[in-house]
């Protein structure tokens, strides 16, 4: 029986992936703050260590699928915590479970990012180098200098951009180890995380206006279906890619950049 580890498994996209994997006959180990097999706060070093130790003990050090869905939105406080979970937590889990994936059968990992990550350029932003240099203290300090009405959005978008870059940076090494690694980048998805953002007056208008050309938000099961395909043997040659599932948002915003 294939073993899948899913972060953020208690709700939203992670819960939808868990449901699909269980239906497919996989053994699923969910990680979340609550209502999960492994309960851990992925924004802290202690929480990450605990999660990794627990997963490796439960799996005997062999994993077939890793799906990183855990994430915080722009409304989370403090904003630096969003960067901690969305980037540093995801990267720590990828690297910490890489050896376990190498021992798996047709192993694959998928990281959930966001189409909003590419709506601004990060090339000359000091956050880019801070993330990719692994300097969490610097990221936290830079985010803390931003106005309150901007900090959460910047922390969210920059962390999703950086984690997408981190995946692509690992494509060569992971491919050589025969472990596939990809990013799925959704647009607006009808989840508890989005509802929390809609209730925050700082970001509610921007979230309401983040409408895809298809004229609706995605449902969590739609994102889970793509994740399931990308992680499956049917996608055996899909590796190092960022796959947008955003109803046309990226295409309409940047038609000449892809």
The number of folded domains in the chain is: 1
pLDDT of residue 129: 95
Whether residue 53 is contained in a domain is answered as yes
CB 251 within 8 A of CB 217: no
Residue 15 resides in a domain: yes
Q: How many Å apart are CA 160 and CA 185, to the nearest integer?
A: 9
- Residue 7 placed within a domain: yes
Average pLDDT, the chain: 94
Task: Place 93 in a pLDDT band, splitting at 50, 70 and 90.
Answer: very high
Q: What is the pLDDT of residues 118-138, one digit of tens each?
A: 888 898 999 999 999 999 999
Q: How far is CA 170 from CA 108, 173, 180, in A?
A: 13, 6, 10
Reply yes or no on whether 156 is catalytic: yes
Contact 171, 98 (CB under 8 A): no
250 falls within a domain: no
- Measure the CA dihedral 170/171/172/174, to 10°: 80
Tokens of 171: 């494509």
Residues 155-191 pLDDT 10s: 999 999 999 999 999 999 999 999 999 999 999 888 8
DSSP 104: S
Whether the CA torsion 79, 66, 26, 99 is positive or negative: it is negative
Distance in angstroms (rounded) separating the CA atoms of residues 80 and 177 = 33
CATH number, position 181: 3.40.50.720
> Quick check: is 8 in a domain?
yes
Domain that holds residue 240: 3-245
Q: What is the pLDDT of residue 100?
A: 98
Distance CA 79, CA 100 (A): 32
Asked if residue 253 is part of any domain, the answer here is no
Residue 255 inside a domain? The answer is no
- List of residues 6+ apart from 169 with CB closer than 8 A: 132
Please pick, among 87, 131, 156, 203, the residue that the annotation labels catalytic: 156
- Of 127-136, 159-168, 196-205, 207-216, give the lowest mean pLDDT range: 196-205
- Give the pLDDT of residue 201: 76
Over residues 49-73, the mean pLDDT reads 97
Residues 218-242: tens digit of each pLDDT? 999 999 999 999 999 999 999 999 9
Q: Residue 244: enclosing H or E segment and its boundaries? A: strand 242-245
Q: How far apart are CA 237 and CA 254, in angstroms?
A: 26
3-state secondary structure of 31: strand
Whether residue 189 is contained in a domain is answered as: yes
Q: Pick 196 or 159 by higher pLDDT.
A: 159
Question: In the chain, pLDDT over 90 holds for what percent of residues?
Answer: 81
| CA separation, residue 46 to residues 40, 92, 167 (Å) | 9, 12, 23
């Amino acid at each position: 029986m294939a073993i899948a580890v899913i972060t953020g498994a208690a709700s939203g996209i992670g819960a939808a992936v868990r449901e699909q994997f269980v239906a497919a006959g996989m053994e699923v180990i969910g990680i979340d703050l609550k209502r999960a097999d492994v309960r851990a706060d992925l924004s802290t070093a202690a929480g990450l260590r605990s999660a990794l130790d627990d997963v490796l003990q439960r799996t005997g050090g062999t994993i077939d699928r890793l799906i990183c869905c855990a994430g915080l939105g722009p409304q989370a406080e403090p904003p630096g915590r969003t960067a901690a979970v969305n980037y540093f937590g995801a990267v720590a889990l990828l690297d910490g479970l890489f050896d376990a994936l190498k021992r798996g059968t047709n192993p694959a990992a998928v990281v959930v990012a966001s189409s909003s990550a590419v709506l601004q350029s990060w090339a000359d932003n000091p956050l880019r180098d801070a993330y990719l240099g692994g300097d969490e203290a610097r990221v936290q300090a830079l985010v803390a200098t931003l106005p309150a009405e901007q900090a959460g959005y910047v922390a969210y978008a920059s962390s999703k951009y950086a984690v997408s870059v981190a995946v692509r940076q690992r494509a060569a090494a992971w491919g050589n180890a025969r472990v596939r690694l990809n990013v799925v980048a959704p647009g607006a998805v009808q989840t508890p995380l989005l509802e929390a953002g809609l209730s925050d007056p700082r970001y509610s208008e921007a979230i309401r206006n983040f409408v895809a050309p298809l004229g609706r938000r995605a449902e969590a099961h739609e994102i889970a279906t793509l994740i399931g395909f990308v992680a499956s043997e049917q996608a055996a040659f899909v590796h190092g890619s960022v796959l947008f599932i955003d109803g046309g948002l990226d295409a309409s915003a940047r038609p000449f950049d892809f």
